[in-house]
Structure 1
Amino acid sequence: MTVIPQGKTAPPPSRAARPARPRVGEARLDAFASHRRTVIPLGPLTLLTGGSGSGKSTALRGYEALARLAAGDQLEEVFPDPAAWVPEWAGADAQGRRGFRLGCTVDGPAGRVRLDLAVQAEPALRIVGERLADHEGTLLSTALRDPRRATVQAAWHTAGTVPVTRAPFPGDRLGTALLPLRVAGTTDGELRVLAAAEQVVVALRSVFVCDPLPERMRAAVQAGDGRLTSDCGNLAEVLDRTRTLCARRHARLVAGADTGCVGPVTGLSAERLADGTVRARMDRGPGRGTPLGRLGDGELRYLGLTLALLTGSQAMASDPHTEVPSAMQAVTVLADGLDRNLDTRQIRELLTLAAAVCAGGHTRLLGTVGEAAADAAREAAGVTVVDLAP
């Protein structure tokens, strides 16, 4: 599959066909680093591939940035080096301003909702334009009116005695994420705005960046809250938690380890050491076992990715939308270099597991892979492969 060129938005799905759980259907990198008018379709399991310099990792960074802004993070926290995301071909205007643009489309109970964002990187970092729209028209728009102020002028649909409400919004936060705090919801128009904003926020903000680091996974760890970290360095602690709290999920993890690791695997356990730390162990049969610290890098990365797919948002060190019922939520796992250190068999097994997990609707996966893994993915059911042109 190739990148869809930018063009007209597809017609919205009928009300009966709308998904009950909000989901990001496409990411747009209109002018973001090396990307220009790039539209990336997103399914439950999407893998980005392409040659060096094609922008695979950049696309993941763009998605992560939108997720963090939807979670309420400030602009400078999301883009500490904003000039790095300004396209080289983007020249400055008469006032010396340069920036970047990105956005997404989210399908859900409110229909198809589009978010577009324009960020000024130079001379000062700020949001200079934001637009939230559904198939009927614009719901929220912001614009920079006075560069001397730290705010933008926001206008949102009301459809009451006053058709549009205007107010200043901070220029360092996503306006869409602020709408539930600013809009009363007393008119049909305001309810429409709130439904669209909440759909975008719910779909975006539950993100888990997963990059298992074998060197951190080998050591014993201090016991904590049992929530999986991005580097999977506390894998031993999480194994101890899943083994006691969710036997079904733990059994799936053991089965995944048995197919992806060398030799038989009959169990995964964690033992408490005298110093109070926890060390993970792979059981090989009666009286036999291997400390996870002895496994190779590929096996450890495979285990970390498998654990992330099976863990669920409530056991991840991420930011679930606690105000929304869990049945409406889906965590999106971002995995740059999904195939790193994995052999062909591990890639195949991981894709099979990922497709099965993502089909359930509570977990989505967006990753980057090389050409060999992309070829294997094209033959797998339930996988969308997006080929980015350099």
Structure 2
Amino acid sequence: MTVLTPGLTRPGAPTVRPALTELRLTARTFHLGTTLEPGPLTLLTGPSGSGRTSILRAYEALARLAAGATLEEALPDPAAWTPERSAPDPEGRRGFRIGCTTTGPTGPIHLDLAVQTHPELRIVGERLTTDDGTELFTSALRDPTRSTVQAAWHTAGLAPVTRAPLPGDRLGTALLPLRVAGKTAGQRQVLAGAEQVVVALRSVFACDPRPERMRAPTATGTPHDTGRLLPHCGNLASVLRRTRTECSRRHARLVAAVRAGCTGPVVDLRTEDLPDGRTHAVLDRGDGHHTPLPRLGDGELRYLALALVLLTGPGVLDVDPVTEIPSAYQCLTVLADDLDRSMDARQVRELARLAAEMCERGHVRLLGSVRDTAPVREGVTGEALTVVDLDR
């Protein structure tokens, strides 16, 4: 359950889509900490071990927590999150801190989380604050023998705060809409801040196209076929079958993108039904010749999948956005580690150009990592691109 706030849904108001504008992390293995300020299109670069993957996983973990996942679900390998240089406290406990800032209708809202990874995984502290320092919500571990934390949220009524225990394995901010009544101005402020953070974090699609899975035909019309693209893009053919019929304009844009990034002529991107009931995709070369996707190279397949992701949205991608908020008030963030893996310079350049175009429209943001920034800079110029070199 998510409570709608006037700032997001007021008729006639300017559309201000909540977005993450700062990520704070002290869990980069060897590194003690980093702060990242992603823009609409941000690419991380740096040598192996510089923390590119760790940053993207941290963002994804926050997204999963905001969607209601437990710490164990969001952090399947807790030990990997503890910086090597961090020392245990006097009680032998170790952990890390992670936080973010979101902007939106309520202004900057800061979320800071302290997580204990040893001797057991649990949240030991959480703070949700406004830019002027007002504490909307806090939680703290008072009794290590209990599975709960003591939480308090801003009320501004007869009592300044309301206190209650909350589970120690879930993000308290995501639980506030179920606990806060919204009767006072202070409570409504808490709900607005919490909703902004949840909306900004939940609309995330961590995409890692796997060519070996994309080459296999996909089954359509089965109970397991949701028609939404999975992160590994193994069901690409069934999704293309859907998108081709739903929006001819978007499909034409995808065909143009594929033409720019694939070898040889491309006049269309089609799907064909096989005798066994499965579906595969083909490139229509325009002379009666069709090239099945399994014959494409790894770079071409990854390029095609990522182009489709950038041109679609939550209705097509396998994400869990806040359904109570209209999609026009949300912004999808695509996370793409090793964005340029297996691609040649031309493909990276064209994909970066497409990403910049889509990010400029405001409905999608991209945070990824690349090994070589030269092709990216050829495709995108000016302030549309933010490159963060983690080796500096």
CA distance in structure 2 between the partners assigned to 1:65 and 1:373 by the alignment: 30
Q: Which residue of 2 aligns with 1:241?
A: 242
2:158 maps to amino acid: T
Answer whether contact 1:19 1:107 (CA < 8 A) is retained.
Answer: no
Candidates 385, 388, 391, aligned match of 1:386: 388
In the TM superposition, what is the alpha-carbon distance from 1:225 to its structure 2 partner?
A: 2.3
Q: Does 1:324 align with 2:325?
A: yes
CA distance in structure 2 between the partners assigned to 1:78 and 1:91 by the alignment: 24
Structure 1 residues not aligned, in runs of 5+? 1-16
Q: Which residue of 2 aligns with 1:363?
A: 364
Answer whether contact 1:22 1:203 (CA < 8 A) is retained.
Answer: yes
2:22 maps to amino acid: E
In the TM superposition, what is the alpha-carbon distance from 1:34 to its structure 2 partner?
A: 3.4
CA distance in structure 2 between the partners assigned to 1:266 and 1:312 by the alignment: 24
Answer whether contact 2:257 2:307 (CA < 8 A) is retained.
Answer: yes
Q: 1:70 to 1:35 in 2, by over 3 A?
A: farther
CA distance in structure 1 between the partners assigned to 2:158 and 2:236 by the alignment: 56
Q: Which residue of 2 aligns with 1:261?
A: 262
User: Deviation digits for residues 267-298 of structure 1, max 9, x if unmatched?
Assistant: 00101111110010100104121011100011
Answer whether contact 1:31 1:86 (CA < 8 A) is retained.
Answer: yes
Output aligned runs, 1:1-390, within 5 Å: 20-136=16-132, 137-223=134-220, 224-373=225-374, 376=377, 380-381=381-382, 382-389=384-391
Answer whether contact 1:18 1:107 (CA < 8 A) is retained.
Answer: no
2:135 maps to amino acid: T
CA distance in structure 1 between the partners assigned to 2:36 and 2:308 by the alignment: 27
In the TM superposition, what is the alpha-carbon distance from 1:18 to its structure 2 partner?
A: 9.0
Answer whether contact 1:377 1:385 (CA < 8 A) is retained.
Answer: no
1:170 maps to amino acid: P
SS in 2 for 1:111: coil
Q: Which moved more, 1:363-372 or 1:98-107?
A: 363-372
Q: Which residue of 2 aligns with 1:9?
A: none
CA distance in structure 2 between the partners assigned to 1:163 and 1:303 by the alignment: 54
Q: 1:59 to 1:52 in 2, by over 3 A?
A: same
CA distance in structure 2 between the partners assigned to 1:357 and 1:53 by the alignment: 30
More strand by share: 1
Answer whether contact 1:266 1:283 (CA < 8 A) is retained.
Answer: yes
Answer whether contact 1:32 1:102 (CA < 8 A) is retained.
Answer: no
Aligned residues: 374
CA distance in structure 2 between the partners assigned to 1:168 and 1:373 by the alignment: 52
Answer whether contact 1:377 1:383 (CA < 8 A) is retained.
Answer: no
CA distance in structure 1 between the partners assigned to 2:343 and 2:80 by the alignment: 30
CA distance in structure 2 between the partners assigned to 1:380 and 1:235 by the alignment: 31
1:268 maps to amino acid: L
SS in 2 for 1:204: helix
Q: Which residue of 2 aligns with 1:7?
A: none
CA distance in structure 2 between the partners assigned to 1:34 and 1:181 by the alignment: 38
Over the residues paired in the alignment, what is the CA RMSD in angstroms? 1.6
In the TM superposition, what is the alpha-carbon distance from 1:19 to its structure 2 partner?
A: 6.6
SS in 1 for 2:285: strand
1:146 maps to amino acid: D
Normalising by the residue count of structure 1, what TM-score does the alignment of the two structures yield? 0.93
CA distance in structure 1 between the partners assigned to 2:387 and 2:160 by the alignment: 43
SS in 2 for 1:315: coil
In the TM superposition, what is the alpha-carbon distance from 1:219 to its structure 2 partner?
A: 1.2
Q: 1:109 to 1:302 in 2, by over 3 A?
A: same
2:310 maps to amino acid: L
CA distance in structure 2 between the partners assigned to 1:37 and 1:172 by the alignment: 23
Answer whether contact 1:281 1:290 (CA < 8 A) is retained.
Answer: yes
Q: Which moved more, 1:137-146 or 1:284-293?
A: 284-293
Q: 1:288 to 1:314 in 2, by over 3 A?
A: same
2:387 maps to amino acid: V
1:78 maps to amino acid: A
Q: 1:222 to 1:173 in 2, by over 3 A?
A: same
In the TM superposition, what is the alpha-carbon distance from 1:32 to its structure 2 partner?
A: 4.2
In the TM superposition, what is the alpha-carbon distance from 1:103 to its structure 2 partner?
A: 0.7
Q: Percent identity?
A: 62
CA distance in structure 2 between the partners assigned to 1:69 and 1:19 by the alignment: 26
Answer whether contact 2:310 2:364 (CA < 8 A) is retained.
Answer: yes
Answer whether contact 1:19 1:108 (CA < 8 A) is retained.
Answer: no
1:383 maps to amino acid: L
Q: 1:203 to 1:109 in 2, by over 3 A?
A: same
Answer whether contact 1:179 1:194 (CA < 8 A) is retained.
Answer: yes
In the TM superposition, what is the alpha-carbon distance from 1:372 to its structure 2 partner?
A: 4.1
SS in 2 for 1:155: strand
Q: Which residue of 1 aligns with 2:3?
A: none
CA distance in structure 2 between the partners assigned to 1:33 and 1:132 by the alignment: 26
